[in-house]
Chains A and B, each alone.
Chain A
Amino acid sequence: MNRETAINTVLVAGLAAVPLIASAFDDPFIVTLATRIVIFALAGVGLNLALGYGGLVSFGHAAFFGLGGYAAGILASHALNYEPLATWPFEISGTTQMLVIWPIAMVVSAFAALVIGALSLRTSGVYFIMITLAFAQMIFFFAISWPAYGGEDGLSIYVRNQFPGMNTLDPTSFFLLACAILALALLFSSRLSASRFGLALKGARQNDQRLASVGIGPFRVRLTAFVISGMITGLAGALFADLNRFVSPSMLSWQTSGEIMVFVILGGVGRLFGPVAGAALFIILEHSVGPISEHWQFLLGILLLAVVLFARGGVIGVLAGGARHG
């Protein structure tokens, strides 16, 4: 077993131990905190596909996170007040079933990623970073000023949405559900990375001229990766909405985009478990240093600076060494 596998095993074991630790300390908040980690990690796994494997530095993934969240919130609110979402061309009613909400959240995010990606991928470098940011800001301001779903105040989900055969209101059950999805996403991500598509995507990151000259179009490969990436981050957004039972424009804000990026980079760009390590470190720090010093963000800033300047390759890069995957 190489060191990176060992670190990944420790991360998985750590998550698996959460319910036990919570019951030992009799502190259910630990489970909620761990669920946050899992959901942010999932958002990061999505971004990592574009950023890590594809080299697409998206500063606008909050758009997909927020759209997924709003999909969950809007569907649930319509189910609650029995008003159909649309009556034309056919009637669409709300729902509180996660199994319906998730695919819708993913389809909505995928569609947004398709449009944003198709336009943004015409540019590269800083321009790509900024145009993805611009699209996310567009959606953010739309959400703030569109009054139908709460505008600036956001939208509450009064009862957490349901999953067949499970009491999702129980923190541990919801945590396990989120873990299962993260596990699926990690599995998918690892398979994708090793697949023919992964080969082409990583080839496009390293040298798109080479890829084109052997007859594989980089644009379609990147756009596909961007869409898959947006879908996974959108799914994370739907879960996040259900975790907080609340959706607000802050999910769409540029700070959220920045944080998802921080998870990925802190953990290690292009590393399968990088987003998990990054999200765990970030949130554990936030909650362990936060109560001690109200200025914990100062420490976070210093830590991030240290990682960028001295620990290239993120936490996993430092601990496991070696080149990044791909």
Chain B
Amino acid sequence: MAEPVLAIEGLSKRFGAVIACDDVNLDLREGEIHALIGPNGAGKSTLIKQIAGEIASDAGTVHFAGVDISALDAVARARAGLARTFQVSSLAPEFSALQNVMLAVQSGAGGTFRFLGRALSDPALTEPAMAALSRAGLAERARMTASDLSHGERRQLEIAIALAMRPKAFLLDEPMAGMGPEGSKTLTGFLDGLREEAPILLVEHDMDAVFALADRVSVLVYGKVIATGGIDEIRADPQVREAYLGEEGP
């Protein structure tokens, strides 16, 4: 079997007395969607932040595309090809949707320290950005200011930004949150095809989406991965039923 794209070993994080992430092992293989589920407060978003390099881990390593990125900061990890979306949309509110995506294109294309050329009409930035917006279904909203977009459209813009980075792996933190049934269905279909482009680590509460999409599922409870496996294995796992399904239900 090929080496996984993303391999997490022994990752831990403690906030005072609270253990947010306890010796987590997780990997993400080429072509798969690996769903990370767990009750509220299980530490899913903390784990995403640790993988993205936004908060420092107390222990453990993260290997990405064969390289140890444990010591890199969030900027360097993003440049290495790790694209993440935020649980609560995090956009540049005064920028248009297009400009938001252009930032991501520019990161890859370089030239952030170019002071004179006109960026806004530069096809090297606008064309890939438009392409990403179209794929995320937002082409018609390209000129609209991000703060004027609807909630669902902002979720789509998050995806478009991640696409524009042409990443080697996606970290999607609850992309369906607040999308409504129609939006969730469309996005589910879209993510289904996306796994061929780059594998996805998907944090999601929408169980319909998880069961429709996931090749593998890991269950996180109190910062610990209590089970990893295919959907049927997870459904049958007694520990999962007790700790997770028993409490919340899908």
Q: Do A and B touch (CB < 8 Å)? A: yes
Of the candidates A192, A210, A214, the one whose C-beta lies within 8 Å of that of B115 is: A192
Chain B minimum-CB-distance residue to A198:
B119
Closest Cβ of chain A to B121, distance in Å, is 9
Q: Does A215 contact B (CB under 8 A)?
A: yes
CB pair A202 B119 closer than 8 Å: no
Q: Which residue of B lies closest to A324 (CB)?
A: B94
- Cβ-based interface call for A326 (8 A): yes
B161 adjacent to A214 (CB under 8 Å): yes
Inter-chain pairs besides A195-B114, A198-B115, A214-B161, 17 sampled, C-beta below 8 Å: A192-B115, A192-B116, A194-B118, A196-B112, A196-B113, A196-B122, A198-B119, A199-B99, A200-B103, A202-B94, A202-B95, A203-B95, A210-B100, A211-B103, A213-B54, A213-B78, A323-B94
Interface residues on B, range: 35 or more
Report if A213-B112 is in contact (Cβ < 8 Å); known contacts: A195-B117, A196-B117, A203-B103: no
Contact (Cβ within 8 A) B93 A200: no
Question: Which residues of B have CB within 8 Å of A212?
Answer: 54, 73-75, 78
Known: A213-B84, A323-B94. A197 touches B103 (CB 8 A): no
CB-based contact A221/B92 at 8 Å = no
| CB contact list, A185-237 vs B, under 8 A | 188, 191-192, 194-200, 202-203, 206-207, 209-217, 221, 224, 228
A-B contact list, 7 entries, CB within 8 Å: A196-B119, A210-B92, A213-B74, A215-B78, A215-B107, A217-B75, A326-B94
Say yes or no: B116 contacts A195, CB within 8 Å.
yes
On whether the beta carbons of A210 and B106 are closer than 8 Å, the reply is no
Distance, CA A217 to CA B78, complexed state (A): 10
Q: How large is the interface on A (under 10, 10 to 19, 20 to 34, 35 or more residues)?
A: 20 to 34
Within 8 Å CB of A195, what residues of B?
114-119
* B119→A206 contact, CB < 8 A: no
On B, residues with C-beta under 8 Å from A are 52, 54, 73-76, 78-79, 83-84, 86, 90-95, 99-100, 102-104, 106-108, 111-120, 122, 125, 161, 165
User: Given A197-B114, A200-B106, is A214 in contact with B93 using a C-beta cutoff of 8 Å?
Assistant: no
In the complex, what distance in Å separates the CA atom of A216 from the CA atom of B112? 8
Q: Which A109-153 residues have a C-beta within 8 angstroms of B?
A: none
Q: Which of B74, B91, B112, B119 contacts A221, CB < 8 Å?
A: B112
Cβ of B91 and Cβ of A210 under 8 Å apart? yes
B114 A196 Cβ-Cβ under 8 A: yes
**Interchain CA distance A195-B125 in the complex, whole Å:** 11
Give the chain A neighbours of B113 by CB distance below 8 A: 196-197, 224
Q: How far is the CA of A210 from the CA of B97 in the complex (A)?
A: 13
A321 nearest CB across to chain B (Å): 16
- The docked-state distance in angstroms from the alpha carbon of A196 to that of B95 is 14
Knowing A215-B78, A216-B106, the reply to whether A206 touches B52 (Cβ < 8 A) is no
When C-beta atoms are compared, the residue in chain B nearest to A194 turns out to be: B118
Complex: A215 Cα to B106 Cα, angstroms: 9
Q: Distance (Å) between the CB of B211 and the closest chain A CB?
A: 28
Which residues from chain B contact A217 at a C-beta distance below 8 Å?
73, 75
Give the dominant DSSP class at A's interface.
helix
Cβ–Cβ contact A206 & B90, under 8 A: no
Q: Within the complex, which residue of A196, A215, A323 is in contact with B111, where a contact is CB–CB below 8 Å?
A: A196
Tell me, in angstroms, the Cα distance from A200 to B84 when the chains sit together.
18
A200–B52 Cα distance when bound, in Å, is 20
With CB as the reference atom, state the residue of chain B lying closest to A218: B75
- Complex CA–CA separation, A194 to B115 (angstroms): 8
CB-based nearest A residue for B77: A215
Q: Which of A202, A215, A323, A326 contacts B108 (CB 8 A)?
A: A215
Distance (whole angstroms) from the CB of A198 to the closest CB of chain B: 7
CB closest residue in chain B, given A199:
B119
B46 to chain A, nearest CB (A): 15
A197 to B120, CA, bound (A): 11
**Candidates A188, A194, A221; contact of B120 at CB < 8 Å:** A194
Alpha-carbon gap, A73 to B90, bound state (A): 49
Question: Whole-angstrom distance from the CB of A187 to the nearest CB of chain B?
Answer: 10
Known contacts A213-B74, A214-B104; A197 and B90 CB within 8 A of each other:
no
A228 neighbours in B (Cβ, 8 Å)? 115
Residues of A within 8 A of B79 (CB): 215
Chain B residues positioned under 8 Å from A207 (CB to CB): 90-93
Chain A residue at smallest Cβ distance from B161: A214
Task: Tell me the bound Cα distance from A221 to B115 in angstroms.
Answer: 11
Lowest 6 A-B CB distances belong to which pairs? A215-B78, A206-B92, A215-B79, A215-B107, A214-B104, A217-B75
B107 and A206 within 8 A (CB): no
> In whole angstroms, what is the CA distance A95 to B102 when docked?
47
Contact partner of A214 among B95, B103, B125, CB < 8 A? B103
- If A202-B95, A203-B95, A323-B94 touch, whether A216 touches B103 (CB-CB below 8 Å) is yes
Cα(A209)–Cα(B73), bound, Å: 12
Closest chain B CB from A155 CB (angstroms): 34
